[in-house]
Amino acid sequence: MFSWLGTDDRRRKDPEVFQTVSEGLKKLYKTKLLPLEEHYRFHEFHSPALEDADFDNKPMVLLVGQYSTGKTTFIRYLLEQDFPGMRIGPEPTTDSFIAVMQGDVEGIIPGNALVVDPKKPFRKLNAFGNAFLNRFVCAQLPNAVLESISVIDTPGILSGEKQRISRGYDFAAVLEWFAERVDRIILLFDAHKLDISDEFSEVIKALKNHEDKMRVVLNKADQIETQQLMRVYGALMWSLGKIVNTPEVIRVYIGSFWSHPLLIPDNRKLFEAEEQDLFRDIQSLPRNAALRKLNDLIKRARLAKVHAYIISSLKKEMPSVFGKDNKKKELVNNLGEIYGRIEREHQISPGDFPNLKRMQDQLQAQDFSKFQPLKSKLLEVVDDMLAHDIAQLMVLVRQEEIQRPVQMVKGGAFEGTLHGPFGHGYGEGAGEGIDDAEWVVARDKPMYDEIFYTLSPVDGKITGANAKKEMVRSKLPNSVLGKIWKLADIDKDGMLDDEEFALANHLIKVKLEGHELPNELPAHLLPPSKRKVAE
């Protein structure tokens, strides 16, 4: 009795049940978001409809930069091998978009064949026409790095007189299409000739709303002296601050990403540390891929909702018979006011609205009489998805992360420093003595022993209280000293013998010299008498 009263509420409160994140994303998009997009012609204004391949594909890295900033060389450095279609030179050599992907056989697939392959996530690029497809290829090759990620090489962005040359297709729109679907966007700059052209500025602005995916590489940094490098870095940060309107500073990696000797090796340690940071960021992409796709679906749903409000508002304002053309012009000119009204009525953040100028340009070619009025049910379905189903998928994302082995990019340059002495840094901090045959702490142990025997050892050990009296002399905070104690008390008996005490003092010295403490004690720091105990 009265079962009809709670039907809608029950439907909203029971989220969909999915077996995998990928399956859930596909189903939510097709059943809940796609109907709203189609009803309000979202794909004509913003982004083509998503397909299964968009949810199933490997993480992708998009490289963007002016010509001769080292984009193609960067890919070759990562892969440690040439790829089909690769051309490197000081002038604009890459005049195509090249998707570098894993394949059993090395070869090139032309753009027109790529956009009809349902297994590749590029079918919707067909909308950009032959001028673009003739400049789009997929380079396939067997490579360990490409088993985990794909890399998109782009034409060098032009500067000066060169940027007046028409490409024959909407370059910024193509980049924006890729930006919506990739996991990381790497902007490359040449430290030797830093210049942000008008076209590059427009490209960066076109990547608005994807700042969370952006990383910046200041490449070829070995070609200039340290003082000049500091000036270039400052100029780059200032320029980016003017173009990228975010309160957060985009991460900039400084280095020289090629396999040639460094021209000026003064900053070698800095370059190596920056490279490892960038590599760790790229290596994490497979692990975070599902979360990125979920986040992109949420952003798309928010934009689709705003678009529906805009289109339905324009439809509502249009006269039914006379004066349609004049009213259309008036509405397009006053679109900013319509944005403001929608923002107030529906409590929508200004950042969720599409670019005003671009939207006005697109509306000029539209027939407003074909727009649809507001259909609340479609919006309610999307709201229900955002409120309940997305939360269910978030839980599933975490479950998949726990159940699956750790996914990381392997092979190529990512393996280069894992083996031998080149992964150890320069023997500083906790890494000091890693290649020495003798225990590195033994060098200063006689000095530490003198202090140890003044602390009233009993049966060769001092109490925690006596050790604390000495350790606090370092003036390090208790949180740091507590970590040092945990690392040094190897047998976990709450006391320190002479070797453990020497180790504790060695770690205090490491910290006082400005280095970070390890989370676990490295094998080379274990006292010789404790190594069998640890095993």
Q: Read off the CATH number of the domain in which 116 is found.
A: 3.40.50.300
Task: Using the structure block, give the residue that is written with the tokens 């919506």.
Answer: 180
- Read off the pLDDT band of 288 (50, 70, 90): confident
Residue 456 structure tokens: 């009233």
At residue 423, does pLDDT exceed 70? no
Q: Is 428 helix (H, G, I), strand (E, B) or coil?
A: coil
Label residue 307 exposed, middle or buried (CB < 10 Å: 0-12, 13-18, 19+): buried
Question: Residue 254 forms beta bridges with which residues?
Answer: 218
Q: What is the mean pLDDT of residues 322-331?
A: 86
Task: Indicate whether 280 and 323 sit together in one domain.
Answer: no
Is position 7 within any domain? no
Spatial CB neighbours of 121, under 8 Å, sequence gap ≥ 6: 51, 53, 54, 56, 57, 181
Q: What percent of the chain has pLDDT over 70?
A: 90
Is position 253 within any domain? yes
Rounded Cα distance between 221 and 408, Å, is 27
Rounded Cα distance between 414 and 82, Å, is 16
Task: Indicate whether 524 and 458 sit together in one domain.
Answer: yes
Rounded Cα distance between 339 and 311, Å, is 11
SS3 content of the chain, % helix, strand, coil (to 5): 55, 10, 35
Q: How many domains does the chain have?
A: 4
Q: What is the pLDDT of residue 218?
A: 93
Give the CATH number, domain containing residue 322: 1.10.268.20
Task: Indicate whether 200 and 240 sit together in one domain.
Answer: yes
Q: What percent of the chain has pLDDT over 90?
A: 47
Q: Which of 278, 279, 254 is nearest to 268 (CA)?
A: 254
Residue 226 structure tokens: 């340290």
Q: How many CB atoms lie within 10 A of CB 82?
A: 14
Examine the fold and report which residue of 284, 313, 330 is the final residue of a domain before the chain moves on. Answer: 284
Q: What tens digit of pLDDT does each residue of 342-387 get?
A: 999 999 988 889 889 889 999 988 888 889 999 999 999 999 999 9
Is position 2 within any domain? no
Q: Which of 506, 487, 499 is nearest to 462 (CA)?
A: 499
Q: Is the pTM of this model over 0.85?
A: no
Is position 416 within any domain? no
At residue 315, does pLDDT exceed 70? yes
Rounded Cα distance between 485 and 408, Å, is 33
Question: Residue 296 forms beta bridges with which residues?
Answer: none
Q: What is the pLDDT of residue 399?
A: 83
Q: What is the mean pLDDT of residues 243-270?
A: 83
At residue 179, does pLDDT exceed 50? yes
Task: Indicate whether 187 and 276 sit together in one domain.
Answer: yes
Q: Is 7 helix (H, G, I), strand (E, B) or coil?
A: helix
Task: Indicate whether 187 and 280 sit together in one domain.
Answer: yes
Residues of the domain holding 146: 66-160
Task: Indicate whether 142 and 191 sit together in one domain.
Answer: no
Rounded Cα distance between 517 and 520, Å, is 9
At residue 2, does pLDDT exceed 50? no
What are the Cα distances from residue 125, in Å, to 99, 208, 377? Answer: 13, 20, 31
Task: Indicate whether 459 and 524 sit together in one domain.
Answer: yes
At residue 162, does pLDDT exceed 60? no
What are the Cα distances from residue 457, in Å, to 96, 470, 505? Answer: 73, 13, 16
Q: What is the pLDDT of residue 392?
A: 87
Residue 250 structure tokens: 């985009």
Residue 117 structure tokens: 């392959």
Element counts in the chain: helices (H) and strands (E): 23, 10
Examine the fold and report which residue of 160, 195, 214 is the final residue of a domain before the chain moves on. Answer: 160
Rounded Cα distance between 480 and 484, Å, is 6
Q: Any alpha helices (H) in 318-374, and if so which ranges?
A: 324-333, 335-346, 356-364
- Report the Cα 318 to chain-centroid distance in Å: 43
Task: Indicate whether 305 and 391 sit together in one domain.
Answer: yes
Pairing of strands 107-110, 136-141: antiparallel
DSSP state of 406: P
Residue 142 structure tokens: 């067997």
Task: Indicate whether 84 and 128 sit together in one domain.
Answer: yes
Question: Residue 394 forms beta bridges with which residues?
Answer: none
At residue 145, does pLDDT exceed 90? yes
Label residue 201 exposed, middle or buried (CB < 10 Å: 0-12, 13-18, 19+): middle
Rounded Cα distance between 520 and 320, Å, is 74
Is position 251 within any domain? yes
- Read off the pLDDT band of 427 (50, 70, 90): low
Rounded Cα distance between 294 and 300, Å, is 10
Residue 31 structure tokens: 């059943």
Q: What is the mean pLDDT of residues 243-249?
A: 70
Q: What is the pLDDT of residue 453?
A: 93
Rounded Cα distance between 183 and 178, Å, is 10
343 phi/psi in degrees, rounded to 5: -60, -45
The least confident of 10-19, 31-40, 271-280 is: 10-19
Q: Which of 105, 167, 87 is nearest to 133 (CA)?
A: 167
Task: Indicate whether 303 and 264 sit together in one domain.
Answer: no
Is position 424 within any domain? no
Spatial CB neighbours of 4, under 8 Å, sequence gap ≥ 6: none
Q: What is the pLDDT of residue 156?
A: 83
Task: Using the structure block, give the residue that is written with the tokens 């919006």.
Answer: 379
Task: Indicate whether 469 and 508 sit together in one domain.
Answer: yes
Element (H, E) at 208: none
Is position 421 within any domain? no
Q: What is the pLDDT of residue 11?
A: 47
- Read off the pLDDT band of 209 (50, 70, 90): confident
Q: What is the residue-averaged pLDDT of the chain?
A: 86
Task: Indicate whether 29 and 89 sit together in one domain.
Answer: no
Give the CATH number, domain containing residue 510: 1.10.238.10
Number of residues in the chain: 535
The least confident of 75-84, 170-179, 206-215, 251-260 is: 206-215
Q: What is the mean pLDDT of residues 190-201?
A: 79
State the Cα torsion 52-54-60-62 to the nearest 10°.
150
**C-alpha angle 455-461-467 in degrees, rounded to nearest 5:** 45
Spatial CB neighbours of 187, under 8 Å, sequence gap ≥ 6: 64, 65, 204, 214, 215, 216, 217
Is position 244 within any domain? yes
Q: What is the mean pLDDT of residues 481-505?
A: 94
Dihedral sign (CA 101, 106, 108, 112): negative
| Contact by Cβ (8 Å): 433, 524 | yes
At residue 489, does pLDDT exceed 90? yes
DSSP state of 185: E
